[in-house]
Amino acid sequence: MDLRKKYRRIKLALVVGVCGARPVQNDREEIWLGDVLVSQGLVQYDLRRKIPGGMFTKMLLRIPCRERRGSWLRSWPGCVEASVNQHLSALQRTTGSKIFDYPGTEYDVLFAPTHRHGYRDSKLPGSIKKKPSPSYRGPCPIKDTRRQWQCALDASQIDQMRSQSSNNPPQPSIHFGMIASGDALLTGDMRNRIDLRELVIGFDMAGTSLGVSAAFPSCIIVKGVCNYADGHYSED
- Report the half-sphere exposure of 191 (CA within 13 A, side-chain side): 29
How many angstroms separate the first and last alpha carbons of the chain? 32
Separation between Cα atoms, residue 10 and residue 18, nearest integer Å: 23
- pLDDT over 50 (residue 173): yes
- pLDDT over 50 (residue 136): no
Q: How far is CA 87 from CA 84, 94, 137, in A?
A: 5, 10, 41
Residue 180: enclosing H or E segment and its boundaries?
strand 174-181
DSSP state of 55: P
Residue 169: enclosing H or E segment and its boundaries?
none
27 in Cβ contact with 212 (< 8 Å): no
| Closest alpha carbon to 32 in 146, 172, 183 | 172
Residue 201: enclosing H or E segment and its boundaries?
strand 200-204
221 in Cβ contact with 178 (< 8 Å): no
- Flag the least confident range among 3-12, 24-33, 97-106, 155-164: 155-164
pTM: 0.72
- Flag the least confident range among 16-20, 135-139, 157-161, 221-225: 135-139
- pLDDT over 70 (residue 182): yes
| Closest alpha carbon to 229 in 16, 17, 21 | 21
150 in Cβ contact with 127 (< 8 Å): yes
27-84, pLDDT tens digit by residue?
667 898 888 898 888 888 765 544 444 444 444 444 555 545 555 566 655 666 777 7
185 in Cβ contact with 205 (< 8 Å): yes
- Report the half-sphere exposure of 90 (CA within 13 A, side-chain side): 6
Could you give the percent of the chain with pLDDT greater than 70?
Answer: 55
12 in Cβ contact with 67 (< 8 Å): yes
Domain boundaries, the chain: 3-68+79-104+170-227
Separation between Cα atoms, residue 145 and residue 233, nearest integer Å: 8
39 in Cβ contact with 14 (< 8 Å): no
**CATH number, domain 3-68+79-104+170-227:** 3.40.50.1580
User: pLDDT band at 19, cuts 50/70/90?
Assistant: very high
Separation between Cα atoms, residue 179 and residue 212, nearest integer Å: 14
219 CB-contact burial (10 Å; exposed 0-12 / middle 13-18 / buried 19+):
buried
- pLDDT over 70 (residue 88): yes
